[in-house]
């Protein structure tokens, strides 16, 4: 079985413009975004819009900032569900990231999960472990794990390396030493001790500088 090949085909099936074809992808993190019609337009024009955890979407009558589509959602079991997280869930693909399972953490099930909503685990062997190696951190010895946002970006580049990829909503690029996350929705929360966001910032900058992706301010 080709886990990455199967995952690529599954994710591509949720392409909004032409199911099965992904020529462009937008990965949107949860950092606060100022209003921008241009940014929202570019996100909504992508073949595939990927969101993570406590995401929000533009709504009618309010300034546009992050677009209105969520084709694929990467989340962890401890997410804080926003009002948009389950809206229209039957038309989305939900991918569960479980990086701490590599370190022996037990399985937890989100209590708010709708009984008729399925999910697909992101394979740790093919995705999380290689990404952890790229970060250059002692992830096995110190029980470290990449953030869901960086996993979403890595997955987009790994599954669709030939696409036009854009990233936005990642505050660690400008503030790699922050100890708390401020989100577009909800209260701030601490950066998990299992994360090394300084290393994630270095890796993401390398993707941007090499032309593998573009960053939308």
Residues contacting residue 51 through CB under 8 Å, at least 6 positions apart: 28, 70, 72, 73, 74
CA distance 85 to 141: 34
Q: What letter does residue 96 receive in the DSSP assignment?
A: E
pLDDT of 60-116, one tens digit each? 999 999 999 999 999 998 888 999 999 999 999 999 999 888 887 877 666 778 889
> Whose structure tokens read 């962890």?
76
112: which 2 tokens?
């708010």
pLDDT of 175-206, one tens digit each? 999 999 999 998 999 999 999 999 999 999 99
Whole-number pLDDT of residue 118: 87
Q: What is the pTM of this model?
A: 0.95
Work out whether the CA dihedral 154, 156, 159, 162 comes out positive or negative: negative
Domains (range + CATH), the chain = 3-187+196-215 (3.90.1480)
> Whose structure tokens read 């660690």?
172
Angstrom CA distances, 197 to 126, 132, 162, 175, 191, stand at 21, 12, 26, 9, 9
Work out whether the CA dihedral 82, 83, 88, 89 comes out positive or negative: positive
CA distance 211 to 205: 10
């Amino acid at each position: 079985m080709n886990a990455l090949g199967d995952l690529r085909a599954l994710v591509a099936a949720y392409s909004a413009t032409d199911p099965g074809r992904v020529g462009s992808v937008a990965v949107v993190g949860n950092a606060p975004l100022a209003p921008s019609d241009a940014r929202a337009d570019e996100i909504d024009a992508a073949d595939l819009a990927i969101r993570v955890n406590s995401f929000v979407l533009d709504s009618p009558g309010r300034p546009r900032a992050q677009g209105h589509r969520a084709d694929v959602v990467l989340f962890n079991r401890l997410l804080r569900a926003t009002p948009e997280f389950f809206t229209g869930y039957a038309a989305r693909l939900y991918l569960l990231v479980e990086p701490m399972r590599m370190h022996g953490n037990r399985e937890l099930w989100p209590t708010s999960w709708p009984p008729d909503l399925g999910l697909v685990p992101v394979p740790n062997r093919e995705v999380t472990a290689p990404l952890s190696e790229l970060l250059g951190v002692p992830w096995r010895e110190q029980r470290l794990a990449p953030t869901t946002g960086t996993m979403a970006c890595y997955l987009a580049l790994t599954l669709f390396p030939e696409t036009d990829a854009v990233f936005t909503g990642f505050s660690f690029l400008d503030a790699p030493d922050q100890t708390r996350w401020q989100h577009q929705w909800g209260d701030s929360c601490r950066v998990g001790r299992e994360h090394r966001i300084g290393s994630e910032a270095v890796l993401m900058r390398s993707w941007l500088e090499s032309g593998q992706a573009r960053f939308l301010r």
